[in-house]
Structure 1
Amino acid sequence: MSAATLTQTIGRTLAELRQSRGWTLKTLSEATGVSVPVLSKIENNQTGISFETAMKIMGSLSLSLDELTGDKREPALVSGRRAINPAGTALKIPSMGRSYELFATELRQKRMVPMITTVDVHSAEEWGPLSRHDGEEWMYVLDGSIELHTELYAPLTMKAGDSVYIDSGMGHAMVALNDAPARVLSVYAGTGAPFGMPHSDG
Structure 2
Amino acid sequence: MIAGARKKDRIVSMPESRVGLKMRHTRLLKGLTLKRLAELAECSESLLSRIENGSANPSIKTMHRVAMALDMPVSGLFQDGGVEDSSVVLRQGERPTVQAGQGKGHRLEALIPSRRGNLLSGYINDIEPGSGSEGVIKHEGEEFGYVLDGEIELIVDKKKYQLRPGDSFYFRSERPHSYTNNRKKVARILWLNTPPTF
Contact 2:75 2:114 in 1 (8 A): no
Alpha-carbon separation, structure 1, partners of 2:91 and 2:115 = 15
User: Within the alignment, does 1:9 sit opposite 2:17 as a pair?
Assistant: no
Q: Offset of 1:143 from its aligned partner?
A: 0.3
Normalised by the size of structure 2, how large is the TM-score? 0.74
Q: Offset of 1:108 from its aligned partner?
A: 3.6
Alpha-carbon separation, structure 1, partners of 2:165 and 2:181 = 12
- Counterpart of 2:151, as a letter, is S
What residue is the counterpart of 1:101 in the other structure? Answer: 109
User: Please, which runs of 5 or more residues in structure 1 have no aligned partner?
Assistant: 197-202
**3-state secondary structure, aligned to 2:189:** strand
**3-state secondary structure, aligned to 1:8:** helix
Q: Offset of 1:35 from its aligned partner?
A: 1.0
User: Please, which runs of 5 or more residues in structure 2 have no aligned partner?
Assistant: 1-11
Alpha-carbon separation, structure 2, partners of 1:66 and 1:182 = 20
- Counterpart of 1:172, as a letter, is H
**3-state secondary structure, aligned to 2:27:** helix
**3-state secondary structure, aligned to 1:94:** strand
Q: Offset of 1:65 from its aligned partner?
A: 6.7
User: Within the alignment, does 1:171 sit opposite 2:176 as a pair?
Assistant: yes
Q: How many residues align?
A: 180
Q: Cα RMSD between the aligned structures?
A: 3.2
Greater helix share, structure number: 1
Contact 2:27 2:70 in 1 (8 A): no
- Counterpart of 1:36, as a letter, is E
What residue is the counterpart of 2:135 in the other structure? Answer: 129
Higher relative contact order (CA 8 A, sep 6+): 1
Cα offsets for 1:87-131 (capped at 9, x unmatched):
1222211122322111222544311001011122448xx752112
Alpha-carbon separation, structure 1, partners of 2:162 and 2:35 = 41
